Amino acid sequence: MVPRAADRLLIVVSILEGRYFPKRPKYMLIVEAKFDGEQLATDPVEHTDQPEFATELAWELDRKALHQHRLQRTPIKLQCFALDPVSSAKENIGYIVLDLRAVQEKKQTPKWYPLLSNKYTKFKSEIQVGVVLETDTKALVDGFKAKEAPPREGRVSAFLSGLDPKSIIPVLIEEEGYHQIGPAECCRDYFVLSVTIAFATQLEQLVPSTMKLPERQPEFFFYYSLLGNDVTNETFTDLINPNFEPERASVRIRSTADVLQVYLCAQSKLQIHLCCGDQSLGSTEIPLSGLLKKGSVEIDQHPVAIEGAFVLVPPNRAKQKMPQLPLDMAPTVGVSVVLQKESLNVQPLIPLNAPTEPKQTQKKVLSPVSGKTEGLQQTSKDVPSQNDHSSPTEDEATESEVESLKFEKGTNLKKTTDAAPVAASKSNPVGASSSSEPVSAQKIVIPAASHHFCFSIDLRSIRGLEVGFPINCILRYSYPFFGSAAPIMTSPPTEIRKNMEVFLPQSYCAFDFATTPHQLQDTFFRLPLLVELWHKDKTTKDMLLGIARLQLSNVLASEKTRFLGGNGEQCWRQTFNETVSVTAAQGSGNRIAELSYAITLEDYGLVKMHEVLVSDSSQCVGAGQQRHAPHTQPPCVPENQPEPRETLEYKAALELEMWKEMQEDIFENQLKKKEMAHMQALAEEWRKRDREREALVKKKVAEYTVLEEQLQKTLRDLDKRERHLFSAESELQRVKKELQAEHERNKQELQDSVRRAREECAHQIELERSKIKQMEEDKLRLQQQLYEAENKHKSLEKEFQQYKEQQSSKPEIQLQSEINLLTLEKVELERKLESATKSKLHYKQQWARALKELARLKQREQESAMARLKKQQQELEHMRLRYLAAEEKELGKTDRQELEDIRNELNRLKQQEEERKQLQDVRDNSAGRVDSPHSRKLNENMDDYLSRLIEERDTLLRTGVYNHEDHIVSELDRQIREAIAKRNTTR
């Protein structure tokens, strides 16, 4: 039968991101999710402190398979690996176990799950995961199934010779219901591997004093993985006295003893964790390599097993700093691992009632999806047979508790006359446990998740009437969800007028019922309570005036308060008060009144009785009437008056008093029995609490013993350290004394050296003072000598001045002075001539260099111009030649004009010079021509110098580079003018 599309579901696991991871740049992170033998993986992401996976993994299944997985508590296991991209090696970091029972179809907020067995002990790595159920709207396709491993060539011996233990992977063969280990053509023997968790002790030692468990009653269970299948046992709530049925999980294996021995040796140890929710409290490891020994044939003769009590070790003992416990106080778990060979004529699984088992155990068969339905049916058939022995007493106790609860609740509730059928229907299940109930009574099965609720409604008052006439109002409502469709009405009718507020009589009613919280919430949100306002008149027919809508879901949003129930159990109460409008039943729906009400919801927890007998209320009422009928018949009074004690009234009164005493005795006996039952329950609870306290005291004593040993060790260390400090202190005192003595000695030496230095300084000062005195005397003497020398120098200067005046008046002296002046002028002129010659050479060199540079620049400019403008080369060449010719012509004209001016100037100067010479000759004839040779030589040098300057100026102007405004030409002109002026003055 093909399932409908609406029954197809998707389990979507959203792996979003991680946090608190160490940074490993060369590694990648990958998360593998395994569910029901199918494994999916995320894409590799960078190994950073906050990796982002952002991946959704989905498995497809139908609702029936989901229900089976939830019954079997099939987990979803997420394993986180660090992947090396170079070597493709995967390193297991930790894992997360998700409970399939908590998955819902409405979307939930993703949660942070810590990694269990985290390799990074210094980091509390967490992954944000969200799980949701979605309806598969796509077409039905075959789901993913693990396929058989490809066959390998060669026989077992050849295979074992080159066998890599890491390459042996168990492959699930769903059709046959076994795991294949090794090549299928060689490994054909069948084996059964079973793991049984039998008992556990001292589990409270795994919970440190600082650890916080969930506020509600926590549930604990053991978890382990067997060939990739996650297995959990039955949950239990008491760590001090763990009470759970031993469960055996078995898997079929198809392989050979040698290959299986290699596989078990290569596998890591079997880890068994004690978990509370998704938190691991402790774990133990069972090595599987000891099951099979190499070359042993023991497995062919009888099963091999590893049995014993294994110590549970809490995770991160170093972080928790829990003391090391002795062996008798250590938490242990009893585990049995059995491997046996399965022959062809032997059943693969041992039945539950096998005589070889010492006690009845529950068996879990880890088989493929196709075989899980049969295993579930077998389990569901066997479980009631195990509980048949204890069910009668448990049912009687449960029914008696419900009876007392109902009785106490019934005395506190105030019922109305119209609500009598509801109360009767509620009281019938209480009496279902009596022996006089007929066997054919109807049974109501209450779901296991149902809660006992009590819902009360108090219609308090009506006000703000908008009707034009006074009314006699009654309120009426009905809510079949509370267990009865009979209407509830207030009585008697109450008169109400306009602008009045009337409090309604007998308007309180309470309902006891059992349902699930989800169904209660859904019903309250969907169906409001409709309260009808009726006008009751004796002369006319009752008239419906209006309807008020009470939204019962408002009470679910109010604050919860805790109170104790009749049996001392914690219960919750929610109360809501409101005033609503009563709208007209006919017409436009205007407001005609306001109704004030109060509703209360009380939650008494889970229902203990799951089957209730319901009898006919009319039969119960009739029986009660028949039972009380004899007491209501009037007695027959005779005509004559008998004795007072013989009258029927006296006998009836006596019988009534005796019946009262008997009922009192019965009531006292019942109270005593209840008191005895309560006392026994209190004693049992006291013994349980006493055992718990004793276990906690033992645990604390063990912890304090370990702490005392640590303190003793610490005291010994402190004593040793104190002795060491005392010796170090004495050594320090000795060194201090030595240093102080050395300081005193150094201080004395310094004082002596300071005294000697002061004496030497005083002596040195005396010597310096005597030297200063001697120098002052020498100064006075030298000042006297200086004064005398200055006077003598002044007198000599006066004499020399007189002598100079006398000598200056002589002609020889004057001539000699003129000769000296001329000699000096000659030397100066020679020096200037030499410098001018050097300047000439320098200027010539600079001029030649400038010419070369200019030619080079012109050549470069010409070449670049020729390269850029080849088409205009001839025109530019003609223009350049014309420009140069015009420039040379202009320069030639200028030079000729200047030369003409120079010639004219020279001729004029020569004429003046000749005239001056003639005058000089006439004047100096009498002097005998003393300086004529010298003057002629000087004039000749001046002419040469002048002609040289003129030649240099003309040469520079002829080059075309310089003009008259240039600095060097202006300087030559200035020197020429100075030379001409000097030559004129000398003549």
H or E stretch covering 804: helix 648-808
pTM above 0.85, yes or no: no
Supply φ then ψ for residue 748, to 5 degrees: -65, -40
> What pLDDT is recorded for position 159?
52
Report percent pLDDT > 70 for the chain: 76
Asked if 319 and 167 count as a contact pair (C-beta separation under 8 A), the reply is no
Asked which of 42-56, 668-682, 918-932 is least confident by mean pLDDT, the reply is 918-932
How far apart CA 875 and CA 339 sit, in angstroms, is 115
Instruction: Look at residue 804 in the predicted model and tell me its pLDDT.
Output: 77
Report helix, strand or coil for 125. coil
| pLDDT for 428 beyond 60 | no
pLDDT of residue 396: 36
Mean pLDDT of 380-409: 37
Q: In angstroms, rounded to a whole number, what is the distance separating the alpha carbons of residues 171 and 148? A: 6
Residue 179 clears pLDDT 70, i.e. is over it: yes
Distance CA 37, CA 225 (A): 12
d(CA 810, CA 808): 5
528-542, 606-620, 930-944: least confident range = 606-620
845-854 mean pLDDT: 86
Q: Taking CA 777 as the corner, what is the angle to CA 776 and CA 782, rounded to the nearest 5 degrees?
A: 95
CB-based contacts of 283: which residues, under 8 Å, 6+ apart?
Answer: 117, 271, 272, 273, 274, 312, 313, 315
**Quick check: helix, strand or coil at residue 628?**
helix
Q: How far apart are CA 303 and CA 338, in angstroms?
A: 7
Position 773 scores a pLDDT of 93
For the ranges 143-152, 209-218, 301-310, the lowest mean pLDDT is seen at 143-152
d(CA 956, CA 969): 8
**Tell me, what's the pLDDT at 541?**
81
Residue 902 has pLDDT above 60, yes or no: yes
Structure tokens at 698: 């033992």
Question: Which run of H or of E encompasses 251?
Answer: strand 247-255
Q: What is the pLDDT of residues 783-822, one digit of tens each?
A: 999 999 999 999 999 988 888 777 767 777 777 878 888 8
Q: What is residue 717's predicted lDDT score, i.e. its pLDDT?
A: 93
In the chain, the percentage of residues whose pLDDT exceeds 90 is: 22
Q: Judge whether 229 and 77 are in contact, CB under 8 Å.
A: no
Rounded to an integer, the average pLDDT of 375-385 is 34
pLDDT band for 106, please (50, 70, 90 cuts): confident
Q: What is the pLDDT of residue 771?
A: 93
Question: To 10 degrees, what angle do helices 372-387 and 63-71 make?
Answer: 50
Q: Which residue has the higher pLDDT, 829 or 384?
A: 829
DSSP 209-245: TTPPPPSS---EEEEEEETTEEEE---BS-SSS----
| Residue-level pLDDT at 426 | 36
Q: How confident is the model at residue 161 (pLDDT cuts 50, 70, 90)?
A: low
**Distance, CA of 717 to CA of 704 (rounded, Å):** 19
Range with the lowest mean pLDDT among 35-49, 357-371, 836-850? 357-371
Q: Say which residues have a Cβ less than 8 Å from residue 803's Cβ, sequence separation at least 6.
A: none
Confidence class for position 181, pLDDT limits 50, 70, 90? confident
pLDDT confidence of 126, banded at 50, 70, 90? very high
Q: Are strands 362-365 and 247-255 parallel, antiparallel or unpaired?
A: parallel
Q: Which residues contact 836 (CB under 8 A, 6 or more apart)?
A: 945, 948
- What are the DSSP E strand ranges found in 470-522? 471-477, 488-489, 494-496, 501-503, 508-515
φ, ψ of residue 332 to 5 degrees: the values are -130, 160
C-alpha dihedral sign at 728, 734, 738, 740: positive
Instruction: Give the DSSP letter string of 173-210.
Output: ETTTTEEE-S-TTT--EEEEEEEEEEEEE-GGGGS-TT
Mean pLDDT of 411-431: 35
Q: How confident is the model at residue 87 (pLDDT cuts 50, 70, 90)?
A: confident
Whether the pLDDT of residue 334 is over 80: the answer is yes
Dist. CA 662–CA 675, nearest whole Å? 19
| Token pair recorded at residue 557 | 């949003």
Closest CA to 542 of 532, 528, 550: 532
Q: So what's the pLDDT on residue 146? A: 38
Q: Name, in order, each residue with C-beta under 8 angstroms of 676's C-beta and a sequence gap of 6 or more.
A: none
Instruction: Give the 3-state secondary structure of residue 848.
Output: helix
Instruction: Give the DSSP letter string of 522-553.
Output: HHHHH-PEEEEEEE--SSS--EEEEEEEE-GG
As a whole number of angstroms, the distance between CA 206 and CA 66 comes to 34
Residue 955 to residue 895: CA distance in whole angstroms = 10
Partners of 30 in beta bridges: 81
Residue 987 pLDDT more than 50?
A: yes
pLDDT value at 368 more than 70? no
How many Å apart are CA 90 and CA 44, to the nearest integer? 11
Q: Which amino acid is at 338?
A: V
Distance CA 216, CA 121 (A): 30
Q: What is the mean pLDDT of residues 314-324?
A: 59
Q: What is the pLDDT of residues 442-477, one digit of tens each?
A: 445 566 678 889 999 999 899 888 887 888 888 999
CA 275 to CA 248: how far, in whole Å? 18
CA pair distance 511, 266, nearest whole angstrom: 65
State the pLDDT at residue 154. 40
**Range 840-863 average pLDDT:** 85
Q: What is the 3-state secondary structure (H, E, C) of 876-914?
A: HHHHHHHHHHHHHHHHHHHHHHHHHHHHHHHHHHHHHHH
Classify burial at 797, counting beta carbons within 10 Å of its beta carbon; exposed 0-12, middle 13-18, buried 19 or more.
exposed
Mean pLDDT of all residues in 757-770? 93
Q: Which of 267, 317, 254 is nearest to 166 (CA)?
A: 267
Evaluate the CA torsion angle 417, 422, 424, 427 in order and state its sign: negative
pLDDT number for residue 214:
58
What is the average pLDDT score of the chain? 77
Report d(CA 876, CA 869) in Å as an integer: 9
- What local confidence, expressed as pLDDT, does residue 609 receive? 58
**What tokens appear for 708 in the block?**
């005392």
Q: Is the pLDDT of residue 380 over 80?
A: no
419 pLDDT above the threshold of 70: no
Please tell me whether residue 702 adopts helix, strand or coil conformation.
helix
DSSP assignment of 293-319: -TT--HHHHS-EEEEEEEE-B-TTHHH
Is the pLDDT assigned to residue 696 strictly greater than 60? yes
Q: Tell the residue number behind the tokens 């006493």, with chain if given.
A: 690
pLDDT, residue 15, reads 94
Task: Give 63 or 644, the one with higher predicted confidence.
Answer: 63
**The predicted structure's pLDDT at residue 634:** 37
- The string of DSSP codes covering 91-110 is EEEEEEEEEGGG--SS----
Do residues 626 and 473 make contact, with C-beta atoms less than 8 angstroms apart? Answer: no
pLDDT in tens, 574-629: 999 999 999 988 776 788 899 999 999 999 888 765 445 443 333 333 333 333 33
- Work out the average pLDDT over 845-851: 86
- Answer whether residue 397 shows pLDDT above 80: no
- Out of 229-238, 505-514, 560-569, 822-831, which region has the weakest mean confidence (pLDDT)? 560-569
